[in-house]
Amino acid sequence: MIRRIALLCLALSVPAVAQTTLNGAGATFPYPMYSKWFSKYHDAHPDIQFNYQSIGSGGGIRQVLAGTVDFGASDGPMTDQQLAESKVKILHVPTVLGAVVPAYNISGVSGEIKFTPDVLAGIFLGKITNWNDKAIASANPGMNFPKDEPIVVIHRSDGSGTTFIFTDYLSKVSSDWQSQVGKGTSVKWPVGLGGKGNEGVAGLIRQMKGSIGYIELIYAVQNNITYGSVKNASGEFVKASLASVTAAAASVKSMPADFRVSITNAPGKDAYPISSFTWLLIPAQSKDAAKGKMIADFLNWMVDDGQKMTADLTYAPLPESVAKKVKDEIKQVR
């Protein structure tokens, strides 16, 4: 009895492991991947907890600029103006590659629709308004579309890196889109209904017959939403996959020193044209030196071990050449 009491007193006298919370916010595009990484890293380092708010890239950029989070996340790189507004140097650390897919819910259609750049631009500009349009049918011979089903366009309502990727692509392939709408994390949509986050857009597509929207590949896979192939710069219809996203990444012959690069509409017959890197936005100088070291340690783990986990969630890992440069970039984090 005395021994038991002594052991209990000893246990109570041992201090609990202090836990540090690293706060982040931003992109929904890589959220499934980040969620898994943060959980796995916490399992190995119980003293470190991540609190990541999946609020969209626009929100992530705003919060990292305001200094209200330890790190941000975005699928659209910060602009020169935004970087100039920051009180500290912000690093763009690429984490994985993903794909934005045209996902749809059309009455009686369960197969893969082929989308040309002109059709995608036409739909989101509001110029193609029905699923039996000749422009859609001509690229999909033998596909039985409903005779009179209006197209319901679904887009993001919040500032979004997924929107940046999609509009960056449309701006490259359609002069009408470039002149009338342009690219950005938020744009003035000509038509459509808005959903918050990739989750919100996916939910609306599932609910509404005749709908089409753009979402990150994993959200289409996890929600069992049908998505189509897209005609690439080489004239090939390519469906999003690990291989086709990796092929798009291979088009980058010279990575910019700050990693702010676009790989939409990449050359190469196997490249999926709406692919992108996604980035963590890391202050080079943390307000808290201890947190700075924790973030640097996590980033090194992400490059070394985290990349092995990407395929299960349909993200493509960083090319080896990029991963090496990222390791050098991480040395700046304090």
| pLDDT tens readout for residues 91-125 | 999 999 999 999 999 999 988 999 999 999 999 99
pLDDT of residue 252: 85
- Enumerate residue ranges in the chain where pLDDT < 50: 6-15
CATH number assigned to the domain comprising residue 169: 3.40.190.10
Confidence at residue 16, expressed as pLDDT on a 0 to 100 scale: 53
- Record the pTM: 0.91
**Domain with 306 in it:** 21-98+277-330
Identify the pLDDT of residue 14. Answer: 44
Domain boundary residue, one of 234, 249, 264: 249
* Domain shared by 121 and 222, yes or no: yes
Q: Say whether both 217 and 312 belong to one domain.
A: no
> Under a CB-based contact definition with an 8 Å cutoff, are residues 228 and 136 in contact?
no
Same domain, 168 and 89: no
Question: Which SS3 state, helix, strand or coil, does residue 236 take?
Answer: coil
Task: Determine the pLDDT at residue 4.
Answer: 52
Task: Say what the pLDDT of residue 253 is.
Answer: 84
Q: Average model confidence (pLDDT) for the chain?
A: 94
Q: Are residues 283 and 302 in the same domain?
A: yes
- Answer with the one of 208, 234, 249 that is the final residue of a domain: 249
User: Residue 254: what pLDDT?
Assistant: 85
pLDDT in tens, 17-65: 579 999 999 999 999 999 999 999 999 999 999 999 999 999 999 999 9
Domain presence at residue 13? no
Contacts 24+ apart (CB under 8 A), 219-225: 219/32, 219/103, 220/101, 220/103, 221/314, 222/32, 225/103, 225/104, 225/105
